[in-house]
Amino acid sequence: MTSPETELVRVLEADGRFAPSPAAERYLPLIEAISDAELEQLYRDMAVIRAIDTQATNLQRQGQLALWPPSRGQEAAQVGSGRAARAQDTIFPSYREHAVTRIRGVDPVDIIKLMRGVSHGGWDPTDPKNGNTRLYTLVLGSQVLHATGFAMGRLFDGRSGTGDLDRDEAVIVYYGDGASSQGDVHEAMVFAASYQAPTVFFLQNNHWAISVPVSTQSRVPLVQRSAGYGIPSVRVDGNDVLASYAVSRIALDEARSGQGPRAIEAVTYRLGAHTTSDDPTKYRGNDEEESWALRDPITRMRAFLEGRGASASFFDEVDEEGADAAEDLRARTVELGPPPVSRMFDHVYSDPHPLIEEQKAWQARYEASFEGGQA
Ligand SMILES: Cc1ncc(C[n+]2csc(CCOP(=O)(O)OP(=O)(O)O)c2C)c(N)n1
Ligand SMILES: [Mg+2]
Q: Which residues contact 102 (CB under 8 A, 6 or more apart)?
A: 45, 48, 49, 52, 108
Residue of 167, 283, 308, 366 marked active site: 283
Q: What is the pLDDT of residues 202-238, one digit of tens each?
A: 999 999 999 999 999 999 999 999 999 999 999 999 9
Q: What is the pLDDT of residues 20-60, one digit of tens each?
A: 999 999 999 999 999 999 999 999 999 999 999 999 999 99
Half-sphere exposure of 80 (CA within 13 A, CB side): 32
State which of 139, 181, 210, 216 you would mutate to test the pocket of ligand 1, scoring each by most atoms of that ligand within 8 A of its C-beta. Answer: 210
What is the pTM for the complete model shown? 0.95
Tell how far the Cα of 143 is from the centroid of ligand 2, in angstroms.
Answer: 15
Mean pLDDT of the chain: 96
Q: Say if residues 244 and 81 touch (Cβ distance below 8 Å).
A: yes
Could you tell me which CATH class the domain 22-335 is placed in?
Answer: alpha beta
SS3 182: coil
Q: Is the CB of 208 under 6 A from ligand 1?
A: yes
For the chain, the structural domain boundaries read 22-335, 341-372
pLDDT at 5 over 90: no
- At residue 1, the pLDDT reads 46
**For residues 347 and 161, what is the distance between their CA atoms, to the nearest angstrom?**
36
**For residues 85 and 93, what is the distance between their CA atoms, to the nearest angstrom?**
13
Among 65, 48, 47, smallest CA distance to 56 is for 65
159 annotated active-site: no
**Position 353 confidence tier, pLDDT thresholds 50, 70, 90:** very high
Residue of 98, 116, 146, 270 marked active site: 270
pLDDT at 342 over 70: yes
What is the percent of the chain with per-residue pLDDT over 90, rounded to a whole number? Answer: 93
Distances (CA, A) of 71 to 55, 198, 206, 208: 12, 27, 10, 13
Mean pLDDT of 157-173: 94
The string of DSSP letters for 239-288 reads: T-HHHHHHHHHHHHHHIIIII--EEEEEE----S-SSTT--GGGTS-HHH
What is the end-to-end Cα distance of the chain in Å, rounded? 71
